[in-house]
Amino acid sequence: MKQINASKRLLFHLSLLLLFTFLGCKKKEDEIIPTPDVPVVVKKFSKLDIVTNGGAAINSKDTYVNASLTLDGITDSSNFRGTAQIKGRGNTSWGFPKKGYKFKLDEKAGLLGMAPEKDWVLLANYLDGTHLLNAVAMKTGQLLELPFTNHIEPLEVNLNGQYLGLYMLTEQIEVKKNRVNIGDDGILLELDQYFDEPWKFRSAAFNLPVMVKHPELKSATELAPIRAQFEQLEALVASADFPNNNYQDFIDVESLASFLLVCLLTDNRELNHPKSTFLYKTKMGKWTMGPIWDFDWAFAYEGTLRHFSSFNKTLFSAPRGVGSNFFSKLMAAPAVKAAMQQKWTTFKAQKLPELLTYIDQYAAKIESARARDFQRWQRGGLDFREDVFKLRTWLKNRADFIDGELK
């Protein structure tokens, strides 16, 4: 009898153990579950030490300071030692306590696996407590095969011995062989209401703030043909017979569709103003949208000052600006809308799962560094994994909303 009772007790305890194991393993659908190839604990994290000459402060966006850089990557092959010039960067973001920076290496080099060049950017992500949003946007651009989309590599930064926190290292947007590779005779423009480049113009039809990033100009005479090329496209969009004219001869519809989809998925309304909106062309080519840039105010932040606050805002909702008039007309053109529908159907079915996996991988990679950044700046939620869960849920809801938007 004792043996029978002992056997029953053993079976009872085994049943409880299996039940608790099942309940313990059961997760919410969107909870971060690291895949086997994603380490939960990152033993080594990339770190950049910046030492300015004489300990000089970096307190300007206009004046470079000489510095020495020591980059310790996750692998020995990603380590770097060198000298550079460094200055502040950003418009609104320069006024935040945690500063962004731009540095120019004295000698061209590839950093953290990115192609060699001299100019690099350190994004502070002060508004983004998840430290994920710009990385997610750039990954979306890459998945949509948008040319010259930047890469994002996380690292922690120390300046003159002071811990500054978690940053993103990325390429400077510029015309170079390993950046926006359109040749020295190509054109790179930025549409931005800050309107703070030396060579710029307000366009004739839509009053767009157009700044010339490349080539470097010396006179108004050199500016005139660039303006004429842009306004040739703009006039066609403004024309009464648009879209039943030859506007497609002057803008690459495929790049426009991909660019708009990145903005739509991330709810990036910067092109309404417009701000941080780039386009380029080779000497004989069409205008092409990109590279994409600056997603701090995306993911429902604009208008609410809270990321993930809503997922069902249209791309051209308030605040509307001169960019809204131009880009909303382009987006409504049948050829552009058809390209967006085709690309979106493929992206949602095949690439959105890859994007969600990337979020899990990136989150696992930065989790410990993000905790240290939180101790420094107190930005973001107390529960990082809950923040990641909110991002994933928001993207899924946003994707379902886009299905209706593109019908």
Q: pLDDT tens, 269-289?
A: 999 999 999 999 999 999 999
Mean pLDDT of all residues in 298-316: 95
pLDDT of residue 43: 55
Q: Is residue 127 part of a domain?
A: yes
Q: Is residue 157 part of a domain?
A: yes
Q: Is residue 281 part of a domain?
A: no
Q: Say if strands 153-159 and 47-52 run parallel, antiparallel, or are unpaired.
A: parallel
Between CA 305 and CA 275 the distance in angstroms is 17
pLDDT of residue 2: 36
DSSP assignments along 251-293, one per residue: B-HHHHHHHHHHHHHHT--GGGTT-SEEEEE-TTS-BEE----
Q: Say if strands 162-171 and 187-191 run parallel, antiparallel, or are unpaired.
A: unpaired
Beta bridge partners of 287: 251
Q: Which domain holds residue 76?
A: 47-171
Beta bridge partners of 310: none
Q: Is residue 88 part of a domain?
A: yes
Residue 4 confidence (pLDDT) above 50: no
DSSP assignments along 74-94, one per residue: SSGGG-EEEEEEEEEE-SGGG
Radius of gyration of the chain (CA): 24
Between CA 108 and CA 116 the distance in angstroms is 6
Is residue 344 exposed (0-12), middle (13-18) or buried (19+ Cβ within 10 Å)?
buried
Quick check: 261 and 340 in contact, CB under 8 A?
Answer: yes
pLDDT of residue 48: 98
Q: Is residue 31 part of a domain?
A: no
pLDDT of residue 318: 74
Give the pTM. 0.89
Token duo for residue 157: 């930064």
Confidence of residue 110 (pLDDT cuts 50, 70, 90): very high
Quick check: 50 and 158 in contact, CB under 8 A?
Answer: yes
pLDDT of residue 17: 36
What is the number of other CB atoms lying within 10 angstroms of the CB of residue 203?
Answer: 19
Q: Is residue 21 part of a domain?
A: no
Choose among 406, 214, 239, 265: nearest CA to 326: 239
Residue 15 confidence (pLDDT) above 50: no
Q: Is residue 338 part of a domain?
A: no
DSSP assignments along 283-305, one per residue: TTS-BEE------TTTTTTTTTS
Confidence of residue 320 (pLDDT cuts 50, 70, 90): confident
225-278 per-position pLDDT tens digit: 999 999 999 999 999 999 999 999 999 999 999 999 999 999 999 999 999 999
List of residues 6+ apart from 54 with CB closer than 8 A:
none
Residue 98 confidence (pLDDT) above 60: yes
Token duo for residue 90: 């950003």
304, amino acid identity:
T
134-192 per-position pLDDT tens digit: 999 999 999 999 999 999 999 999 999 999 999 999 999 999 999 999 999 999 999 99
Q: Is residue 92 part of a domain?
A: yes
Confidence of residue 335 (pLDDT cuts 50, 70, 90): very high
For the chain, give the percent of residues with pLDDT over 70: 89
Between CA 278 and CA 202 the distance in angstroms is 15
Quick check: 370 and 380 in contact, CB under 8 A?
Answer: yes
The number of distinct structural domains making up the chain is 1
